[in-house]
Amino acid sequence: MKLCHRRFLLLTLSYMFVFWVLLAVLRNPSIQTFRSIVGNWILDNDLYPCTFRKLPMLYQHGDSHYFVVWETTCPSGDPMVEWWTSDMHSHVYTEPWYRRIDANHHRYTAIFGPTGNASNVFYKVNNYRQSTQQYKIHRPAKHALHRVLVMADNQNGPSNFRKVLARISKFYGSNTPDSILHVGDSVQTARSLKDWQKQLFSPMEDIGGMQHRTPTIFVPGNHDHDKRRKPNNSNLYTDMYHGLFDSEDLGNSAVVDGKYHRFYHSVSVGTARIIVLDAECPSAEQSEFLEHELQSPEFQNAEFKIVAIHIPPYIEFWDPYTWNDKGEKHWGEHIRIEYDPMFRKYGVDLVISGHQHNYQRSTVHRGPGYERDDPITYAIVGGAGGRLDLRRVEDYHMYNVTYLDHHFVSLDIESKRLHWVARNIADETVDEFVLQH
Ligand SMILES: [Fe+2]
């Protein structure tokens, strides 16, 4: 081979090697933090023309409505959410609410539906300046397999969260889950734009972007929202329910004085029914809602009766100082004292919580004195990224499994079978159980 050919070959191989190293570095979940920092710095300093800052994040509220939030770096004309289903003959256009957070954060929110029982729902943000691609929401039939990603407490731990997300992405591959059950504390500080970008939106976008087409069933945590319910409050991305109860409830003084909260709702996932509660805001209205929902035919006739609430009824790990001296042991007492007996009375199968940053799971017998004499399972899944809780403060002698590291849960619900698997970031199974009827 001629010298010039050898040189050319060597140069080509060197370029390929450098490209391969660069690709490997950029794919590393920890490095992506740097990529997001640079990207957001460019947007913050107006060095890029108007663009999407946050592509749509989809939430599910009730059985046939979706809430979508997105954000641009400038006011975006008159955007619409264009949506349709596989059963519909024409498309529907829904106008969003606009909120100017600051000069670089222009937030839009819309609720669309009802979508009926269609197996596929499609939507896109449509605007002459800023349009998205078309997203497809897959909705399995009631008795078909529903795959639910369960996670909580990625707050303040973006680097760990990225590792958990990378594992999730590998686990599901192209078969993205049908729903995400986020059991709260998605950010550290609800009023901090930086926290929302760095701790939730950027990691989700960088690693798969499943939030665009997989709806999140959102369970509010104590860090996610300001307790007041006012227009233009500091709930930058969690005031979705203002829209649902817009004019009537925002004018209600009970809303303004902080005693009236409506994050709670119920949703069906296949043959399961999930009641979502707001752990931070006990109120007569929420108690009334809970009792009503527990007795409802939708809940009682469901194969699997699930309650999702951020603060668990039984916490065993916390910071001993804040637990004992700062009174945080009393924080969720109402859940254990008031709600838990109701869970038992009405035959709840599974209570899913976060808040405590590790994994625990217990299946206990309801025992005498309750209406039903069968098991109830409590699961704590607070390991999506936040700093771990490693110190024991209580011992209820009830948990079968305790795992003190980051993790996520794949929850598969198919007709009469519920399959729960907790996995860590090394792809090991931490815990597994099946409920079969
Ligand atoms: Fe929490």
172 and 69 fall within a common domain: no
| Tokens at 119, concatenated | 């197996």
Distance 187 CA to ligand 1 centre (A): 10
Distance 231 CA to ligand 1 centre (A): 24
92 and 63 fall within a common domain: yes
Distance 171 CA to ligand 1 centre (A): 26
Q: Which of 120, 138, 156 is the last residue of a domain?
A: 138
Distance 381 CA to ligand 1 centre (A): 11
The answer to whether position 276 is within a domain reads: yes
Residue identified by tokens 């930058």 is 236
SS3 string of 103-148?
CCEEEEEEEECCCCCCCEEEEEEECCCCCCCCEEEECCCCCCEEEE
With H, G, I as helix, E, B as strand and everything else as coil, classify residue 283: coil
Per-residue pLDDT of the chain (437 residues; tens, 9 = 90+): 777 888 888 889 888 888 888 777 766 666 666 777 777 888 888 788 888 999 999 998 778 888 899 999 988 778 999 999 988 889 999 998 888 889 889 999 888 888 888 899 999 998 867 789 999 999 999 999 999 999 999 999 999 999 999 999 999 998 999 999 999 999 999 889 999 999 999 999 988 899 999 999 999 898 988 766 555 567 788 765 544 444 344 344 333 333 344 678 889 999 999 999 988 878 888 899 899 999 999 999 999 999 999 999 999 999 999 999 999 999 889 999 999 999 999 999 999 999 999 999 999 887 776 666 689 999 999 999 999 999 999 999 999 999 999 999 999 999 999 999 999 999 999 999 999 98
The answer to whether position 422 is within a domain reads: yes
378 and 285 fall within a common domain: yes
The answer to whether position 247 is within a domain reads: no
27 and 71 fall within a common domain: no
Distance 386 CA to ligand 1 centre (A): 10
What DSSP letter does each residue of 58-96 carry, written as one string?
EEEETTTEEEEEEEESS--SS-EEEEEETT-SS-EEEPP
56 and 31 fall within a common domain: no
27 and 93 fall within a common domain: no
CA distance 379 to 48: 45
Q: Which of 73, 108, 138 is the last residue of a domain?
A: 138
Distance 281 CA to ligand 1 centre (A): 13
Distance 346 CA to ligand 1 centre (A): 26
CA distance 179 to 205: 16
Distance 89 CA to ligand 1 centre (A): 44
Residues with Cβ within 5 Å of ion ligand 1?
185, 221-222, 355
- Residue range 24-66, pLDDT digits in tens: 776 666 666 677 777 788 888 878 888 899 999 999 877 888 8
Distance 153 CA to ligand 1 centre (A): 7
User: Considering its fold, how many domains does the chain have in total?
Assistant: 3
The answer to whether position 91 is within a domain reads: yes
Distance 424 CA to ligand 1 centre (A): 20
The answer to whether position 254 is within a domain reads: no
Inter-residue contact 379 to 360 (CB < 8 Å): yes
* φ and ψ at residue 273, rounded to 5 degrees: -120, 130
Q: Which amino acid is at 393?
A: V
Residue identified by tokens 């100017």 is 100
pLDDT of residue 246: 43
Distance 357 CA to ligand 1 centre (A): 8
Q: Which of 138, 168, 185 is the last residue of a domain?
A: 138
The answer to whether position 154 is within a domain reads: yes
The pTM score is 0.90
| Tokens at 73, concatenated | 């770096």
Distance 184 CA to ligand 1 centre (A): 7
Domain that holds residue 204: 145-225+263-436
CA 404 to chain centre: 21
CA distance 425 to 407: 6
Distance 161 CA to ligand 1 centre (A): 16
Distance 144 CA to ligand 1 centre (A): 33
Which residues, in sequence order, are CB contacts of 207 under 8 Å at separation 6+?
A: 29, 32, 162, 165, 166, 168, 169
72 and 207 fall within a common domain: no
The answer to whether position 96 is within a domain reads: yes
Distance 280 CA to ligand 1 centre (A): 9
pLDDT of residue 19: 86
pLDDT of residue 349: 96
Distance 46 CA to ligand 1 centre (A): 35
The answer to whether position 373 is within a domain reads: yes
Inter-residue contact 185 to 152 (CB < 8 Å): yes
70 and 185 fall within a common domain: no
- Going by C-alpha positions, the residue among 308, 394, 298 that lies closest to residue 343 is 308
Distance 310 CA to ligand 1 centre (A): 7
With H, G, I as helix, E, B as strand and everything else as coil, classify residue 226: coil
Which CATH number covers residue 76? 2.60.40.10
pLDDT of residue 284: 83
301 and 432 fall within a common domain: yes
Helix-, strand-, coil-residue percentages of the chain, each rounded to 5 = 30, 30, 40
Beta strand 375-381 pairing with 350-353: parallel
Q: Do you know the residue count of the chain?
A: 437
393 and 316 fall within a common domain: yes
CA distance 164 to 426: 9
Distance 166 CA to ligand 1 centre (A): 23
Distance 279 CA to ligand 1 centre (A): 9
* φ and ψ at residue 287, rounded to 5 degrees: -60, -45
114 and 210 fall within a common domain: no
Establish whether the linkage from the previous residue to 114 is cis, with ω within 30° of 0.
yes
Inter-residue contact 215 to 59 (CB < 8 Å): yes
- Residue range 122-176, pLDDT digits in tens: 999 988 677 899 999 999 999 999 999 999 999 999 999 999 999 999 999 989 9
Distance 292 CA to ligand 1 centre (A): 26
21 and 130 fall within a common domain: no
pLDDT of residue 258: 37
Distance 221 CA to ligand 1 centre (A): 5
